[in-house]
Structure 1
Amino acid sequence: MKSTTILSSLLFTLASASPIARASSEIDVTGFTAQTNPNGDGASISFTVTIPTTSISSTPCTYADVTSSNHLPDVPMTTCADSSLRFQFRQDPTQPGAGEGRYRLVVVYTPGSGSEGLAGYQEWDASDFVTEEDVTYEGAPDFTLTAA
């Protein structure tokens, strides 16, 4: 419930900044990868976004650092290759008795000139991120975000 409140708060804040449509279009993600580097010297997250009813088609979104060690970092709102697209990635805190927190990707599209924007998210159980020597996402690389 707490993670739903956090997500709702984030999307409410973004909606206040610009109009966000609810389910008027879909946000498709392809080629999603997330992993830490095997030597514990960084992490990377990458994927492409297509929004069928807009000019957004196979737009890359990436994050990389050299400071993360054995866990995927929380990534603040980060601009994609097209500045009208931004994303955020994080893992919810572990709750007593509930196991590891869920991972979440949020994508926000805010076109210029007063056009209505879109927002969507994807959530995963921690079990979709395998931890051995490093952390690697092993779920489906292609999915449609849930409209927010």
Structure 2
Amino acid sequence: MPDLNAPQMIMAFDFGTQKMGMAVGQAMIESASPLALLPMKDGIPNWDQLLKIVQQYQPDLFLVGLPLNMDDSESELSARSRKFACRLRHQTNIATLMVDERLTTREARGELERYQAQGRGKKLAADSVAAALFIESWYRNPEGLTP
């Protein structure tokens, strides 16, 4: 029986200073679908545009990629990603978790090639595919993420 308290709709973000990948997923069927890139201006989204997208999908949970170095240390981009996640939570009052995104870009490029081979990836970007991979990692290990 499904957990009725668990999030049903999940939205994930692969934060970047120039563009941000986004994806949505439905927990009940464990799906994850990349969305179009969201333009960023020096790491800041157009909040009106982003909030309209959030309203369209009505997620119960946000996942935001945390770019860690291979030695587990954080970088300036890590801090900016955490700041975005904090603002997103504040703007929407929706639970927001951070996802270790190490090596997902490489995996996302391989997935993007698969989408393109199926004729579905012409307008997709690796950043949005990476966001979909964050959702898939949550399905496999929902307790392994950090607030």
TM-score range, shorter chain: 0.3 to 0.5
Q: Which has the higher helix share?
A: 2
Higher percent of residues as strand: 1
Computing the radius of gyration over CA atoms, which structure comes out larger, 1 or 2?
A: 1
- TM-score, L = length of structure 1: 0.34
